[in-house]
Amino acid sequence: MKLLILGATFFALYTIQKYIEVRRVIKSVHSHPGTRTIFSLRSLIGNILPRIPGVSRGINANWVGKHKPYAEAGWDVLANVTFVPSAAVTLSLADAAAIKEITTARARFPKPIKQYKLVSFFGDNIIASEGEEWKRYRKIAAPAFNDRNNKLIWDETLRIMLDLFDNVWGSQDTIVVEHGISLTQPVTEYLGAIAAIPPGHRMAFKDALNEVSQGCLTKFLVPSWAMGLHEHTRTVRLAFEELEIHMLEMISKRRNEGKKEERYDLLSSLLDASIEDPTFTDRDLMGNIFIFLVAGHETTAHTLCFTFALLALYPEEQEILFQHIKSVLSDGRLPVNSIPKYSIEDTTLTISNGAGDKRIIPVPKDAHIVINAVGLHYNPRYWKDPEEFRPARFLDPDWPRDAFVPFSAGSFSETEAVAVLTMLVLKYQFEVKEEPQFASESFEERKARVLASKPGLTMSPIRVPLVFRRR
Ligand SMILES: *[C@@H]1O[C@H](CO)[C@@H](O)[C@H](O)[C@H]1NC(C)=O
């Protein structure tokens, strides 16, 4: 009984203390509107629970909410407050001017390096660094992003696509693809990720890569002693171990090959740099290779898959793209979700809304800041009918550049994605596969179904069934 009273007293004190902290935090941003939830995404529970109003926001909140929460609040910046692990404010931005201010003032609003530890398992890297270290990594990676390499990537991707058309799809007029993600194969092939399990391994490179990018959050949040307790966490643990061995083998293989062949990929650039620059350690090499594998692999594969889905849903847009590609190639040639920041000092941010009101909100030191790319891209203040798939909006010379922050993985994956898309659209016409169980769905239902996603390191398409017909 005594223990119970003691427990209750502690709980009451804890609640009062949290309440006072939260009041202070809310006051520090002049009670700017935003969501109040108990668990933040910086806590394990916050990552596990779905969206429960007042309790947790769910890991997919930005995508689910799009611009709606901002429209409801009347401001394109929200000051969300959470209680656990500690009372804290997170500014969630869908305001182009405020985002520009934050991204240009790199020194005042650096990346929260600690949060990026999520992608630093194998070593520090260009994404998880700031300042001098970031500059050093960038200098080493930059030479790989040139026109010559782009051309080689382009040619290599075309070769892989032609091989798919000639030797796999062959003379079939209709090809059913159960999930569009399988068409993003070139991305993986060009990375040299092999599908077979080589001797001495327990997992193929390709599977290890997939499991690791899906399992990053698990690995980050689950303590290592607990990773052996469940089938799923055991697989993730194995994938991490295997990927490390695969990467080490890849490095030593390339090192032994020397510079015989002309190499055009980032891995070779990083290797060359590590040979020329003795301060570039093996950890640096591993950390950055991992980042480019994940960035190159995941972002491109998923973006491409969503693009297939949209073009399948909007045949008129697909036709426009086809005509455009044909006209470009008329001479017979073959052709090319949220960002965290924080403030290092007490500062302010000027924000405005669709009605033309302006407001200056305080940004306390150490406030978390999230650039909500989804909120921005669906903000009707900048984009007319933001829910519509209308690629032609980018043809308007005055399209709002400040309201577009795709944070792409760079020209490497762009070149490749455009090559895959061009080849497919040129040779095939495609649509969403008709399936009896979905016979009566409306266009909007179908669109929601094929664009459905699950959050991972990047947003993953769940299932995009397509039918390709030879043109
Ligand atoms: C802030 O709250 C809104 C509304 O619930 C949500 O859509 C958004 O994802 C939240 N942002 C952050 C960074 O917590």
pLDDT digit string (tens) for the chain, length 471 residues: 788 899 999 999 988 988 899 999 999 999 999 999 999 988 888 888 989 999 999 888 888 899 999 999 999 999 999 988 889 999 999 999 999 998 888 888 888 877 777 778 888 888 788 888 888 888 777 776 677 777 777 888 888 888 889 888 988 999 999 999 888 766 666 666 566 788 889 998 888 888 888 788 788 888 889 999 999 999 999 999 999 998 888 888 877 876 656 555 667 777 777 777 778 888 888 888 888 777 667 778 888 899 999 999 999 999 999 998 888 776 555 554 567 788 889 999 999 888 889 999 999 998 999 888 889 999 999 999 998 888 888 888 889 988 887 654 444 567 788 888 999 999 999 999 999 999 999 999 999 999 998 776 677 889 999 999 999
Tokens of 344: 């290092």
pLDDT at residue 264, rounded to an integer: 56
pLDDT at residue 408, rounded to an integer: 44
DSSP state of 391: G
- Atom 14 of ligand 1: nearest residue by CA position: 80
Query: Contact 379/99 with Cβ under 8 angstroms?
Result: no
Q: Computed from CA positions of residues 432, 434, 437, 443, in that sequence, does the dihedral angle turn out positive or negative?
A: positive
pLDDT at residue 265, rounded to an integer: 63
Rounded to the nearest angstrom, the distance between the alpha carbon of 32 and the centre of ligand 1 is 13
CA 367, chain centre distance (Å): 23
pLDDT at residue 382, rounded to an integer: 93
pLDDT at residue 85, rounded to an integer: 85
Query: Contact 240/120 with Cβ under 8 angstroms?
Result: no
- Please tell me whether residue 118 adopts helix, strand or coil conformation: helix
E strand intervals along 229-371: 339-342, 347-352, 358-363, 368-371
- Atom 13 of ligand 1: nearest residue by CA position: 92
Cis bond before residue 85 (omega within 30° of 0): yes
Under the phi-then-psi rule, with left for phi > 0, alpha for psi from -120 to 50, and beta for the rest, what region is 132?
alpha
**311 vs 306: CA distance, rounded Å:** 9
> Within 10 A of 17 (CB to CB), how many other CB atoms are there?
11
Rounded to the nearest angstrom, the distance between the alpha carbon of 92 and the centre of ligand 1 is 6
DSSP state of 11: H
Residue 395 identity = L
Rounded to the nearest angstrom, the distance between the alpha carbon of 393 and the centre of ligand 1 is 27
Longest Cα separation, the chain? 88
**Residues of 279-305 as b/e, b for ≥16 C-beta within 10 angstroms?**
ebeeebbbbbbbbbbbbbbbbbbbbbb
Q: Which of 313, 293, 289 is nearest to 301 (CA)?
A: 293
What kind and span of H or E run contains 206?
helix 205-221
Residue 138 identity = R
Q: Which residue carries 């869908």 as its tokens? A: 94
- Atom 2 of ligand 1: nearest residue by CA position: 35
Predicted structure pTM score: 0.75
pLDDT at residue 410, rounded to an integer: 47
**178 vs 37: CA distance, rounded Å:** 39
Choice from 25, 372, 377 to test ligand 1 binding pocket (greatest atom count within 8 A of CB) = 372
Choice from 26, 29, 35, 99 to test ligand 1 binding pocket (greatest atom count within 8 A of CB) = 35
Query: Contact 81/33 with Cβ under 8 angstroms?
Result: no
**276 vs 273: CA distance, rounded Å:** 5
Cβ < 6 Å from ligand 1: which residues? 34-35, 57, 61-62, 65, 69, 78, 80, 90, 92, 370
User: For residue 68, which atom of ligand 1 is closest to its CA?
Assistant: 7
What kind and span of H or E run contains 74?
none
Q: How large is the C-alpha radius of gyration of the chain?
A: 24
Rounded to the nearest angstrom, the distance between the alpha carbon of 276 and the centre of ligand 1 is 45
Residue 324 identity = H
Cα separations in angstroms, 428 against 246, 329, 336, 344, 416: 36, 16, 18, 52, 18
pLDDT at residue 295, rounded to an integer: 67
pLDDT per position as a tens digit, 142-190: 776 677 777 777 888 888 888 889 888 988 999 999 999 888 766 666 6
Choice from 83, 92, 99 to test ligand 1 binding pocket (greatest atom count within 8 A of CB) = 92
